[in-house]
Amino acid sequence: MDLQLGGLTALVTGGTRGIGRAVVETFAAEGANVAFCARDADGVKATEAALSGSDGRVVGTAMDMGNADDVAGWVRSTADDFGGIDIVVSNVSALAIPDTDENWEASLRVDLMGTVRLVKASLPYLERSEAASIIGISSVSGREVDFASGPYGTVKTAIIAYMAGLAFQLAEKGIRANTVSPGNTYHDGGVWQSIEQSNPEAFKEALDLNLTPRMGRPEEVAKTVVFLSSPLSSRTTGANFLVDGGLSRGIQV
C-alpha cells in the first residue's frame, strides 16, 4: 500500500531508540524525508548512518526537547533545510515515573511543554502543507489508572487532551491532530528491559496483564503512527488510538 508519503517531511522527537527510532525507520522506508532529534549525539550519528540509504533524506540533531530555544531553532532550521514541514510526531518523554517534585517538573517540561512548543513552532509550516498532521505519543497510562499514575500518567493524559483540542481548533485549516497510546512496549535499552533486570517480579506482573502473552514491539506502534500521519488517513482527527494488545479494558465513548 502506497501511503503517499514520498517527498513529505516529518519531524520526530526522540528518534534514536524504541518507538521513536521505529517511527523514523518506517517513515524513511515509505520515502518520506525525516528530521529527528535526541539528546545523545552518538545515538543521533548512528541512526543517521544506519538510514543513510533511505529513499528520503534522514537528518538528525542532538538537542534537548526541554529547552525552548532548542525546539524553536530546530523546527526553523529543519523547515529551511527541507523546504517545509508536513508531519510532526511528538514522541520524546522524560519517562519520569516516581512521584517526586523533580519528576513532575521534568514531565511537564519535556513531555508536555516540549510537545506544546514543538507544535507552536511547526504550525506556520503545517499551515502551508497539503497533508498536515500532528501526532502525540501518549500511553495507556494516560487513559488508565496504573502504576505510572503520577507525573508520567498525568502528563500523558494532558497530551491526549491537548491533541483533541488541536484537532478541534485546526480542522478548518486542514491540519489533523491525533494521539497514539502504546501499551507495554519492550525494546533493548527500554524501561521494561530495565524493570525485567532489576525487578523480575514486577516485570512478570506487568507481562501477565497483557491479553496477548507478550509485550509490544516498537515497530508495531510505529506502523500505526505512520499510517495515521499519512494522507491515506485524511478523515481521521481528534482520535486516541490504543496500540496495546488489549491491555486496557475501558470502552471509549
Q: Which active-site residues does the annotation give?
A: 138-139, 152, 156
Domain 9-185+217-243 carries which CATH code?
A: 3.40.50.720
> What would the pLDDT profile of 204-217 be if each residue is shown by its tens digit?
988 888 888 899 99
pLDDT of 194: 87
Extract the C-alpha cell encoding 206: 506487568
Give CA–CA dist 218/164, Å, rounded.
24
pLDDT of 211: 86
> What would the pLDDT profile of 168-195 be if each residue is shown by its tens digit?
999 999 999 999 999 999 999 888 898 8
pTM of the model: 0.95
**Which position has the grid cell 495515521?**
228
Q: How many residues appear in the chain?
A: 253
Q: What is the DSSP letter of 251?
A: P
pLDDT of 41: 97
**Domain ranges (residues) in the chain:** 9-185+217-243
The helix-helix angle for 113-126 and 151-170 (nearest 10°) equals 20
Give CA–CA dist 144/250, Å, rounded.
8
**Which position has the grid cell 507552536?**
120
> What would the pLDDT profile of 117-172 be if each residue is shown by its tens digit?
999 999 999 999 999 999 999 999 998 888 888 999 999 999 999 999 999 999 99
> What would the pLDDT profile of 2-55 be if each residue is shown by its tens digit?
999 999 999 999 999 999 999 999 999 999 999 999 999 999 999 999 999 998
79 φ/ψ angles, rounded to the nearest 5 degrees: -60, -40
pLDDT of 189: 87
